[in-house]
Amino acid sequence: MEVMPIIESLFRWIHVIAGVLWIGLLYFFNWVNANVMPKLDAETKKKLVPELMPRALYWFRWGAAFTWVTGVLLLLMLFYFRSKLALADPADPDAGFGIGSLLMIALVFAAPFIYDPLAKTALKDPQTAFGAGVVVSTVVLFLFQYVGGFGFRGYSIHLGAMFGTIMAFNVWFRIWPSQREIITATKNGTAPDPAVVALAGLRSKHNTYMSVPLLFMMMGQHALWASNPLTLGVIVLVGWAMVYHIYDRATKVQGF
């Protein structure tokens, strides 16, 4: 019995479980919790937030960590350890690793450090972030294809990996530290720093937008009808339009 297929299956299993945990809580925070908390009085928040949020954020951040780690391990196993041709364009049988491929792989892991300063300046405006994100995603897909020499499976999953890496960075280095400050202030009966609240909210919203196209990149590896960078760029746009609509709908859902 071969060991690697067993390990691969286990990693996939953990990856999906952790992803459901992480993204499920992300949607809860953005589409449910964000519309309930403003309706609570200060005394209720003082009792509820220190009990609810640390528990929810514990599963949230560790779900993100396990999703990202198992995703990177699966990426290595399926596209690098197994065969370099898994990355390549089938129409180019001589394709393989080169400087372009290495640059594109480096881009995936450098993405948070490019995104982070932009998110503090140009991308603070949601409409700017929305438009720029679609354009950048499409350009990156073309770079993966024409600079990196990746085929459809290669460039789609690497865009997903790039989104996932940025999202995991946001969780651990922007959302969680901000939420600790917010929870502590609420527990002490003081108003949280508005700048910290805005930072946590913005990065959580960015993650919500990125999560929908990310899920397509994960699940759509055999969607050959989408095997074109422009088509995948449109899918990113459609995914973000879906998120925009759900945000709008979430504000109208009422309790009893």
Tell me what pLDDT residue 112 has.
97
In sequence order, the β-bridge partners of residue 150 are 88
Q: Quick one: how many helices (H) and strands (E) in the chain?
A: 9, 0
DSSP H or E segment with residue 18: helix 3-28
**Could you say which residues of the chain have pLDDT below 70?**
1, 82-97
Give, in order, the Cα–Cα distances in Å from 156 to each of 57, 145, 159, 214: 29, 10, 5, 9
Residue located via tokens 């009893």: 256
Tell me what pLDDT residue 163 has.
97
For 227, other C-beta atoms within 10 Å of its C-beta total: 15
Tell me what pLDDT residue 93 has.
47
